[in-house]
């Protein structure tokens, strides 16, 4: 990491961030070409879980090269300063380098999908997802659903906290900040 002062080593903060963030980006290598896919995900049991169709480019690439990078980033706010070069962004980001594998254990796949439902529609369903539903489900295109597990080798995190007094809001101009000390 180039800027050590931005590194976040707080495991609780990283775990909470991964549990709450809504979109991650799965980076794959297709031969010599990068391929990045935005996905819903769940951080569960120290791994990232995503789901998708059993066929397609993403699955084909994973079969050829299971090494992946999964990135999650959230913009927290923009911080202003009368000196344009000191205008900045508050953010949190996590990069997970590891190996992707198709989950073949129906019990684990069902639990992971149930965790996804609990994250994105908490309290909506009144009972856990059943293995029968998962094993028999087919999309409108006729494809079965697969669960992909990303097992981390390395996790890095960066954050730049929001300085509340510098937070940009609509209508704020440089005239509001002339003479202020940041």
**Mean pLDDT value of segment 96-122:** 97
**Between residues 180 and 37, the one the model is more confident about:** 37
Q: Which helix (H) or strand (E) holds 107?
A: helix 106-120
Q: CB–CB of 66/153 below 8 Å?
A: no
pLDDT band for 131, please (50, 70, 90 cuts): very high
Per-residue pLDDT at 57 exceeds 90? yes
Homologous superfamily of domain range 4-176 = Electron Transport, Fmn-binding Protein; Chain A (2.30.110.10)
Note the pLDDT of residue 11.
94
Residues 3-31: pLDDT tens digits?
Answer: 677 999 999 999 999 999 999 999 999 98
Beta pairing, strands 47-53 & 42-44: antiparallel
Evaluate if pTM is beyond 0.85.
yes
Calpha distance 107→14 (Å, rounded): 27
- CA angle, residues 6, 18, 36, in degrees to nearest 5: 85
Phi/psi of residue 21, nearest 5 degrees: -65, 145
**Mean pLDDT value of segment 102-117:** 96
Q: Which residue has the tokens 């120290």?
A: 46
**Mean pLDDT value of segment 47-71:** 96
- The residues, ordered by sequence, that sit 6+ positions from 32 with a Cβ below 8 Å of its Cβ are none
**Mean pLDDT value of segment 112-132:** 95
**Mean pLDDT value of segment 115-136:** 94
Q: CB–CB of 83/97 below 8 Å?
A: no
């Amino acid at each position: 990491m180039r800027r050590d002062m931005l590194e976040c080593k707080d495991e609780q903060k990283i775990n909470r961030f991964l549990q709450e963030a809504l979109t991650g980006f799965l980076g794959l290598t297709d031969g010599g070409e990068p391929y990045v896919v935005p996905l819903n995900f769940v951080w569960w049991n120290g791994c990232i879980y995503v789901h998708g169709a059993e066929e397609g480019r993403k699955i084909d690439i994973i079969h050829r090269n299971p090494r992946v990078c999964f990135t999650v980033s959230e913009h927290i706010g923009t911080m202003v300063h009368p000196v344009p070069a000191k205008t900045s962004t508050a953010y949190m980001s996590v990069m997970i380098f590891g190996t992707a594998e198709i989950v073949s254990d129906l019990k684990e796949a069902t639990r992971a999908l149930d965790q996804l439902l609990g994250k994105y529609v908490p309290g909506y369903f009144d009972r856990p997802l059943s293995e029968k539903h998962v094993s028999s489900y087919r999309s409108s295109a006729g494809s079965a659903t697969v669960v992909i597990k990303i097992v981390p080798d390395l996790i890095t995190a960066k954050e730049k906290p929001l300085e509340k007094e510098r937070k940009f809001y609509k209508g704020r101009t440089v005239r509001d900040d002339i003479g202020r000390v940041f």
